[in-house]
Structure 1
Amino acid sequence: MTLDIVGFGALNVDKLYRVNRIARENEESFVTGLTESCGGSAANTIVALGKLGLRTGFVGKLADDREGDLHLEKFKKWNIDTGGIVESKEGRSGRVIGFVDQEGERALYIDPGVNDELELDEIDVSYMREAEFLHLTSFVGERPFLHQCSIVKKITGSVKISLDPGILYARKGLDSLKPILSRAKVVLPSQAEVNILTGEDYRKGARRLIEEGSEIVAVKLGEKGCYVTDGEDNFLVEPYKVEVVDTTGAGDAFSAGFLYGLIKGNNLRKCGEIGNFVASKCIEKSGARAGLPSTLNLG
């Protein structure tokens, strides 16, 4: 089966506690609510694209437990192909404990579980070769990251690579990411991640990522929208103004909208607008997926 896009990243179940404020060391806070939902950066993006009607699939690892069953149930709901998911009879599926304050800001703690036990020989490379895009996001452990680098080298031809590095991969530095950056059709970092990777502001940093081989860089600027460049043209795209409930998953939602625009053949500015729109719908509700749209009404 030919797919528009396959995601490859960690699979986690997120327990998000709403708190009056996020406590620092030697401080206290109190809980005002709790939600539980499936997460993982690539998974959130793929679910968003599935809701928008694209043909999607996933590569990752789950345990035979309640959390693993929950992921498979949610993927099935949005017709996401699970042919690339490895199911382990031992261990536990990945989990995240998060704290979200009254302004929608968050702090996350990751328990990777079997995500970091994914072996190279468990991954079906031919499954990825059937997709137009392969979308990569971070793992906590080094082993699955090296598998991603290895697979990117093996996949040639028509498969386009997209990378949403997250803070975890940004901290690895440019040299570690070069195998992926040199093959990337698009890189989708936050402003902070660009600074960590390059030591530059988002404009100079995006140019540096282009120099490393990425064709397009779309920098997430939060409440300022996004900055998009292909090394020749560049655009600062204004955000949609909405009431922020929870920023969890906003970056993943942006990536989904931007990739949707690329897959549908839109220009870079339009891709940025779609990314901002999908992110704006995400942050209007609690959790990474509850607010994701099934239609695009950009206004």
Structure 2
Amino acid sequence: MPEIISLGEALVEIMRHEVGVGFDRPDFFVGPFPSGAPAIFADCAARLGARVGFIGTVGNDDFGKVILDRLEKDGVDLRYCYIDSHLTTGVAFVAYFEDGSRKFIYHIGNAASGVIEEERIKEDYFEGASFLHINGSALSMNEAWRKAIYRAVSVARERGVKISLDPNLRPEILGVDKVRDICRPVVEAASFVFPSGEEAMMLTGKVTPDEACRFLVESGVEYVVLKRGDKGSTVYVKGRSFEVPAFKVDEVDPTGAGDCFDAAFLVGMLRGFDLEKCARFANAVGALAVTRKGPMEGAPFFEDAMSFMERS
């Protein structure tokens, strides 16, 4: 049975080959790469040695096969990851620009990735699990996913499974107030929240990332870990906070780095690391994740991540 359960969208990512090329003219793409924030998280956690279960849906097509083959190869339990024969697998097209920004075109909510049934949230699947990881992108997808996630949170809490949340907010889809509202039931249940500075402020309505993270801790979240990109991370717990510096790497593709960071922090907790080592381990895994093209391709195995930490 899994130690960590992740649920949400599984999709493929197809990206512009060259930086600075938008979608407004013909040019080359590369891919498909397996993707989807909850799936990236699940794959990385499995590579780092955890027993991981993933709940999601793909289409009965080659894109779905790309995703399932990767997750299965890395040891993710897929018994509740279903294949829908009537819909195609979700797709994200991505363009990167010189200033670090990205542009996306999604086919997700109306694809197989948008399909979930509450009945797939089996109570016995949560027995013995340590963490249930929720991603804001899945909450934002549609009402069916929100209902399934809220049920999963309820089932997990009844069994003493700790909830972790990566807000991964999509205000351009639903608006800040709506996203804050749909995240609230998960935030209120969460032991871990892994926001960026902008997400922390959107989630709380506070005017600085520091104020927002402190507010979350004061509201009952056990651990708030602020992801600060090339500046590292800051861990907030009741009564204190501390910064952990980043690792220097050459960035190739930043997509998925935050999901890998989340996975590493929770795996560190499973392995009994202290908080500072959990954050340093997460920084290392997040750094390695950006060094290869493709959201899952840079996710390291445990030994490689530890070796990188020791060398750096």
Normalising by structure 2, we get a TM-score of 0.87
Matching of residues 28-177 of structure 1 within 5 Å:
31=27, 34-102=30-98, 105-112=101-108, 113-137=111-135, 138-139=137-138, 140-155=141-156, 156-168=158-170, 171=176, 172-177=178-183
Q: Between Structure 1 and Structure 2, which shows a larger proportion of helix residues?
A: 2
Q: Is 1:285–2:292 an aligned residue pair?
A: yes
Inter-CA distance 238–212: structure 2 relative to 1 (3 Å threshold): same
Q: Structure 1 residue 133: deviation in Å?
A: 1.0
**Amino acid aligned to 2:258:** G
Aligned to 1:268: 275
2: CA distance, partners of 1:31 / 1:149: 42
Task: Kindly state the Cα deviation for residue 29 of structure 1 after the two structures are TM-superposed.
Answer: 6.7
CA contact (8 A) 1:105 1:247 kept: no
What is the Cα-based RMSD across aligned positions, in Å?
Answer: 2.1
- Relative to 1, partners in 2 of residues 1:237 and 1:29: Cα closer, same or farther, differing over 3 Å? farther
Unmatched 5+ residue regions in structure 2? none
Distance 1:209 1:109, change over 3 A: farther
Output one character per residue of 1:67-121: Cα deviation in whole Å (capped at 9) or x when no partner.
2222211111111110121222211121111112356542222211122221212
Of 224, 229, 240, the residue aligned with 1:217 is 224
CA distance in structure 2 between the aligned counterparts of 1:218 and 1:160, rounded to whole angstroms? 15
Deviation at 1:245, TM superposition (A): 1.2
Q: Cα deviations across residues 258-284 of structure 1 (Å, max 9, x unaligned)?
A: 111111122222111111100110111
C-alpha distance in 1, partners of 2:89/2:123?
Answer: 22
Distance in 2 of aligned mates of 1:208 and 1:22: 40
**Partner amino acid, structure 1, of 2:17:** R
Q: CA deviation at 1:168?
A: 2.4
> Which amino acid in the other structure matches residue 148 of structure 2?
H
Structure 1 residue identity aligned to 2:265:
F
Distance, in Å, in 2 between the alignment partners of 1:108 and 1:82 is 27
Distance 1:3 1:117 in 2: 22
Q: What's 1:197 paired with? A: 203
Verify the 8 A CA contact 1:103 1:244 in the aligned structure 2: no
CA distance in 1, matches of 2:295, 2:258: 9
Residues 42-64 of structure 1 show CA distances to partners (whole Å, capped at 9, x for unaligned) of 11111111111211111111222
1:227 to 209, 226, 234: 234
Aligned to 1:13: 12
Change (3 A) 1:22 1:219: farther
Q: Is the 8 A contact 2:223 2:237 kept in 1?
A: yes
Unmatched 5+ stretches in structure 1: none
* Structure 1 pair 60–20 and aligned structure 2 pair: CA distance change class (3 A): closer
Identity %: 28
Contact 2:22 2:95 in 1 (8 A): no
From 188, 204, 209, the counterpart of 1:182: 188
CA drift at 1:186? 0.5
SS, match of residue 288 in structure 1:
coil
Aligned residues: 295
- What SS does the aligned partner of 2:212 have? helix
Contact map agreement 2:48 2:264 (CA 8 A) in 1: no
Q: SS at the partner of 2:78?
A: strand
